[in-house]
Structure 1
Amino acid sequence: MTQHPRTALLVIDAQESFRQRTEEWAATANPRVLHNIAMLVDRARTDGDLVVWVTHSEPGTGGVFDPEQGFVRVVSEFEPRPDELQVTKTTVNAFTSTDLQSRLAEHGVERLVICGIRTEQCCETTVRVASDLGFAVEFVTDATTTSAIAAGDGYGAVSGEDIMRRTESILAARGFACVVTTAERTGVAAVV
């Protein structure tokens, strides 16, 4: 019997901090992101994969990512189980400021499935670092989201949708990850 590599689902920054930015959250490029993440979590639990909840913290800033404000917690729709890992990062990627790599190694994880909030920041950067660390990575594109970004003087803004397509293209074309959809990952057709 062939042993398959152990897989972990990394849920990046699906936290209440983002919902506190109400205008930005209302304009998110992928309003179905939490539904799609929930589908991935259900599938990971069914398959016996490790689920890892990653949150972002900016201590001492007084903003929505400052733990003192009470929003650095997984969104209320999700309930991490006691046997699932939880890490809080202070850097853009999930590895540099946490013990995530060693904790994944303790569980024999070789493959990562990555989803979450801020497609081009925390999700993409975590994918790149994970790839550099030797993990096989699947990036579940429709289980991420972002918002438009002002591109600077004379360049206008880049839509959230364009940012997401750019991220997918770069990660796939440069070999950082296999880009998949929630339906492909779970075997369940996405509801539009």
Structure 2
Amino acid sequence: MSQQALLVMDLQNSIVPRYAASAEVIAPFQGAIEAARTHHIPVIYVRVGFMEGYPEVHPRNKMFGRLAQSGISAGDEAIQIHESVKPQPGEPVITKVRVSTFAGSSLEQILRAKSIDTLILSGISTSGVVLSTLREAADKDFAITVLSDACLDIDPEVHHVLMDKVFPRQADVMTVEQWAGSLA
């Protein structure tokens, strides 16, 4: 029998307001978290953050090089998990330093220590953390499910192309309701 974990990726204070203008947009994430907790599936939170002075960021990195100029550090409120999906005590909050959840984080060690072989992916953004994590997880031989309505992207067309054409090559794609129903 597989051991699953739900990854809630990049739902942090600096990111959620850019994508989720209303509570109904966050509802699928909350539903996935509730289903996981009800079925004793570990919920693992992931955020992006850096040490003071950004020693992890190379100036050539187009995405994070600009962030280094912003002054956001690992202790700032901006990188904390958004209140709408707040972790419970004992749920890991992993800090990564690149787009993929595996990059510069302890995620793989935590997954291996808990014998987790199946990842349920949710996050912001579909074309960022979800895509990068899916690709790396597939290369590491994890089974993967992507929760289509618990992923957001600034570009709806890109979201749909990834969900309909790209992700199904390496993952099962389903809604939160479909996934939760499969747990019963």
The reply to whether residue 51 of structure 1 matches residue 51 of structure 2 is no
Residue type matched to 1:184 in 2? Q
Separation in structure 1 between the aligned mates of residue 161 and residue 110 of structure 2, nearest angstrom: 31
Q: Secondary structure of the equivalent of 1:71?
A: helix
Q: Does structure 2 retain, via aligned residues, the 8 Å contact 1:64–1:71?
A: no
The total of aligned residue pairs comes to 166
The reply to whether residue 67 of structure 1 matches residue 74 of structure 2 is yes
Moved more, 69-78 or 133-142: 69-78
For structure 1, list consecutive stretches of 5 or more residues without a partner in the other structure. 148-159
The reply to whether residue 161 of structure 1 matches residue 156 of structure 2 is yes
The reply to whether residue 180 of structure 1 matches residue 147 of structure 2 is no
The reply to whether residue 116 of structure 1 matches residue 110 of structure 2 is no
Q: TM-score, normalised by structure 2?
A: 0.82
CA gap of 1:33–1:105, structure 2 versus 1, over 3 A, is: farther
In proportion to residue count, which structure has more helix?
2
Q: Secondary structure of the equivalent of 1:164?
A: helix
Deviation of the 1:96 alpha carbon: 2.0
Q: TM-score, normalised by structure 1?
A: 0.79
Separation in structure 1 between the aligned mates of residue 130 and residue 72 of structure 2, nearest angstrom: 17
For structure 2, list consecutive stretches of 5 or more residues without a partner in the other structure. 54-67
Give the fraction of aligned pairs with identical amino acids, expressed as a percent: 24
> 2:15 maps to what in 1?
18
Separation in structure 2 between the aligned mates of residue 46 and residue 17 of structure 1, nearest angstrom: 28
Separation in structure 2 between the aligned mates of residue 105 and residue 47 of structure 1, nearest angstrom: 20
